[in-house]
Amino acid sequence: MRYVILGNGVAGMETALALRRRDETASIALVSAEHDHFFSRPALMYVFAGQLALKDTEPYDRGLYERMGFERVRGAVTALDAAGKALVLEGGARVAYDRLLLACGSKARPAPWPGSDGPGVHGFVTLRDLERLDAEAKPGGRAVVIGGGLIGVEVAEILKDRGLHVTFVVRESWYFPLALDAREAALVGEHMRDHGIDVRLGANVAEILRGGAGSRPRAVRLAETGEELGCDLAACCIGVVPNTGFLAGSGLALSKGGAIETDDDLRTNLDGVWAAGDCANVTWADGSRRPEPLWYTARDQGRAAAASMLGDEVRYRRGTWYNSAKFFDLEWTTAGFVPVALNFDNTPLPRPEGVREWFQRVPGRPESQRIVLKGDRVVGFNMLGSRWNHEPLLEWIHERRELPWVLKHLPEAQFDEEFAPRFAVQPTAEVA
Ligand SMILES: Cc1cc2nc3c(=O)[nH]c(=O)nc-3n(C[C@H](O)[C@H](O)[C@H](O)COP(=O)(O)OP(=O)(O)OC[C@H]3O[C@@H](n4cnc5c(N)ncnc54)[C@H](O)[C@@H]3O)c2cc1C
């Protein structure tokens, strides 16, 4: 049996490893053009900042491919010939498969504004994006970072760290409303301003202005006020889109947004073809169908896809949600159900029926804790400004613990006790 995996990211690598664990003799080929070795995409910012060498972000030693007997095909795929059961590489070479996994990830959502096409407008998703930004980001320069999500704040941080003047443009009326409520976002906004970022909330971009066609950006014009934010470069961090353009015309069913449609077992509509990771459209707990653009879900999907490719009965379902990140040096851990408080049109969203929240801001520190309750049971955590281990938090949600029990045991889920004060309930804590 010949397995071919398009993509050398976490979904592709986890699939390859899981296949090898179960089948010692199968031919397994990994195809990609980005980098010779599997690396951690979430660590790109540390590579840009010079805090880690790219090699240090590689989760496995470089002997892995040989040791596992993986064939490594270096090349960009330009088409899928489903009838001929082969991938077509740039230059025309073909890579034949019996079973194929598409794990081709995502790319930066292209900037949609007039003036976006041309030099000096950047995304930050791939190694090529990093190299382009690295070449153009000069200390003393001016950057406008557009898009109030996790990648936007990382790019704002690394550009500031390099010595650029950074303006951060966020369309919503507070930063990252998908994950933070107004109180938490105010804390993060304050923190970004303390780090010298010029944060503009509720600001839509109208246009990227250039000196002339083909010249570099000179400003980003805001829609509401007409203000021109002077810049030498703009970073567009308004999300990612599936990296599937080259699959058009292959007969593969794609969603409106370009994600590869998969069944519960991660099979596509084409015989012998599966998909996993950022590029795959999967069913969410609420029944909607979207990709899950996260590291750990790509890993889990890779493992599930391998089992499915080996003939097991598989039903991929994401476990209870968790994530962690940081906003500059403010740590953030979330686990379970945390309701979104702002709609896409910037209007407040009412709290779902029966949901209450315990919240406290820790005095004198940029830190808060929010615990979400359904009835008396704890169903979610949003922890800002200190480090938490998501595993006990998830355990307590699954055990359907009540608030007093959780508050008593919370210190057990804390990391870094030697650096951060131990969790304590503050007199200002409230349930609402
Ligand atoms: C800056 C940044 C920070 C992030 N931080 C976090 C975080 O903190 N937590 C979190 O959970 N997630 C984070 N993510 C998201 C996470 O990195 C992705 O969800 C995850 O990497 C997806 O893995 P994947 O294997 O599906 O795709 P990818 O890692 O994108 O791998 C895709 C592979 O396909 C190859 N490929 C694609 N098209 C072709 C082609 N035509 N020809 C040949 N090869 C091709 C690529 O070269 C690559 O090897 C972050 C992402 C970015 C960009």
pLDDT tens figures, 10-47: 999 999 999 999 999 999 999 999 999 999 999 999 99
Sketch the domain layout of the chain as residue ranges.
2-107+240-309, 121-236, 322-431
Lowest mean pLDDT among 183-192, 280-289, 379-388, 416-425: 416-425
Residues 6+ apart with CB under 8 A from 197: 156, 160, 166, 167, 168
Check pocket membership of 241 for ligand 1, CB cut-off 6 A.
no
In the structure encoding, which two tokens stand for residue 337, read together? 């159900």
- Nearest-CA residue for atom 41 of ligand 1: 77
Cβ–ligand 1 contact at 125 (below 6 Å)? yes
* Residue 421, pLDDT score: 80
CB within 8 A of 385, min separation 6: which ones? 187, 330, 331, 362, 365, 366, 367, 368
pLDDT of residue 345: 83
* Mean pLDDT for the chain overall: 95
Q: Which pLDDT does position 380 carry in this prediction?
A: 98
Q: What is the pLDDT of residues 85-95, one digit of tens each?
A: 999 999 999 99
Exposure string over 141-179, b if 16+ CB within 10 A, otherwise e: bbbbbbbbbbbbbbbbbbbbbbebbbbbbbbbebbbbeb
* Top CATH class, 2-107+240-309: alpha beta
Q: Report the distance separating Cα 208 and Cα 225, nearest Å.
A: 15
- Per residue in 324-379, pLDDT (tens digit) is 999 999 999 999 999 998 888 888 898 999 999 999 999 999 999 999 999 999 99
| Residues near 325 by beta carbon (within 8 Å), at least 6 away in sequence | 150, 332
Q: Do the beta carbons of residue 75 and residue 33 sit within 8 Å?
A: yes
Q: Is 104 in the pocket of ligand 1 (CB under 6 A)?
A: yes
| Whole-prediction pTM | 0.95
Tokens of 281: 């459209």
Residue 19 near residue 310, CB atoms below 8 Å: yes
pLDDT at 417: 65
Percent of the chain residues past pLDDT 90, beyond the cut = 92
> And the tokens for 313?
């009965």
What CATH number does domain 322-431 carry, 3.30.390.30, 2.30.40.10, 3.40.50.1970, 3.30.390.50?
3.30.390.30
**Matching CATH topology for 2-107+240-309 and 322-431?**
no
Question: What torsion do the CA atoms of 333, 336, 341, 345 make, to the nearest 10 degrees?
Answer: 100
Identify whether the C-beta of residue 340 lies closer than 8 Å to the C-beta of residue 177: yes
Q: Does domain 121-236 have CATH number 3.50.50.60?
A: yes
Q: Which amino acid residue places its CA nearest to atom 36 of ligand 1?
A: 104
- For 144-171, what is the mean pLDDT? 97
**Ligand 1 pocket test, candidate residues 5, 78, 81, 104, most atoms within 8 A of CB:** 104
- How close is the Cα of 410 to the center of ligand 1, in Å? 33
Q: Is the CB of 420 under 6 A from ligand 1?
A: no
CA dist 243 and 126 (Å) reads 11
| Cβ 58 vs Cβ 39: under 8 Å | yes
